[in-house]
Structure formats: C-alpha cells, structure tokens
C-alpha cells in the first residue's frame, strides 16, 4: 500500500468518526426506515415522470394539464420537505457536504503546491451545496 493510499484510508476513518458523518447516516437511515416518507418520495417521482411524459407528448399543447401536474408535483415536494425526518436529513446532509468541500479544497490546494501544514481553503460563503456554486478556488 502506498503512503498516499494509507493517508486516504486514515482520512476515511477520521471522516467516519466525525459527528457530521454520524448525523448524516443516522438521518439517512431514519428516512429509509420511514415507510410513509418513502411512499411520499415514490409518489413524487411517479408524478414527476407523469409530468415529463405529458410535457414530451403534448409539446406544450396542453398547458393547463401541465400546470396542474406541476402544481401537484410542487405540493408533493413541499410535503416531503415539511417532514421532520427530511428536514433533519437535509441539515445533516449540508453538514456532510461542508466537510467534504473542506477536504476537497485542502486536497486541491496541496495538489497545486500549497504547504499542507499552513494552507487554508477559502470557505467564505460556501454552503456546501455545489449546485449553487460558481466553483471552488
């Protein structure tokens, strides 16, 4: 095993010992175990598939039908997000994403020649949610 691989495995162990990791996986397990929440999620995905098929089939001809399905889709999504277990999961997921962003930023800095002992990632304004991000520095 190379020194780098050993360091990555040590990092993996440290990540799994972090409370953010524990919170994320406990929240995920609670969501997965909640039958009602899983049914709501399944219904949401089925509604989304219906919306996509309707959109493709009608090519915008039946705007009223699409708007009705969109409203139902949004209502199903809002109901899922209102579930306390899902809220707990989202919060834990954000914590996990922040941790992963910090780790990735440090690795990136080191790969670009920064001093591993002193480099500091710029996490200002980082939410951990990469979908809204303009990119890491």
Segment 36-85, tens digit of pLDDT: 999 999 999 999 998 888 888 876 677 788 888 889 999 999 999 999 99
Q: In what helix (H) or strand (E) does residue 90 lie, and over which residues does it extend?
A: helix 84-111
Tell me whether residue 136 is in a domain. no
Specify the pLDDT at position 137.
Answer: 43
Tell me whether residue 137 is in a domain. no
Average pLDDT, whole number, for the chain?
A: 88
Burial class (CB in 10 A: 0-12, 13-18, 19+), 89: buried
What global pTM score does this model have? 0.74
Clarify whether residues 3 and 20 are in a common domain.
yes
Phi/psi region, residue 126 (left: phi>0; alpha: psi -120 to 50; beta: rest), is beta
Cβ 103 vs Cβ 97: under 8 Å = no
Specify the pLDDT at position 97.
Answer: 95
Provide the domain limits for residue 105.
1-34+85-109
């Amino acid at each position: 095993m190379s020194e780098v691989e050993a360091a990555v495995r040590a990092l993996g162990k440290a990540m799994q010992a972090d409370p953010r990791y524990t919170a994320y996986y406990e929240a995920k397990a609670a969501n997965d175990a909640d039958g009602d929440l899983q049914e709501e999620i399944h219904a949401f995905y089925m509604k989304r598939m219906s919306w996509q098929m309707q959109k493709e089939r009608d090519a915008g001809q039946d705007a009223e039908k699409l708007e009705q399905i969109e409203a139902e889709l949004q209502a199903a999504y809002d109901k899922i997000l209102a579930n306390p277990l899902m809220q707990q999961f989202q919060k834990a997921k954000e914590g996990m994403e922040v941790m992963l962003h910090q780790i990735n930023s440090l690795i990136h800095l080191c790969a670009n020649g920064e001093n591993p002992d002193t480099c500091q990632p710029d996490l200002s304004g980082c939410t951990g949610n990469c979908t809204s991000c303009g990119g890491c520095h």
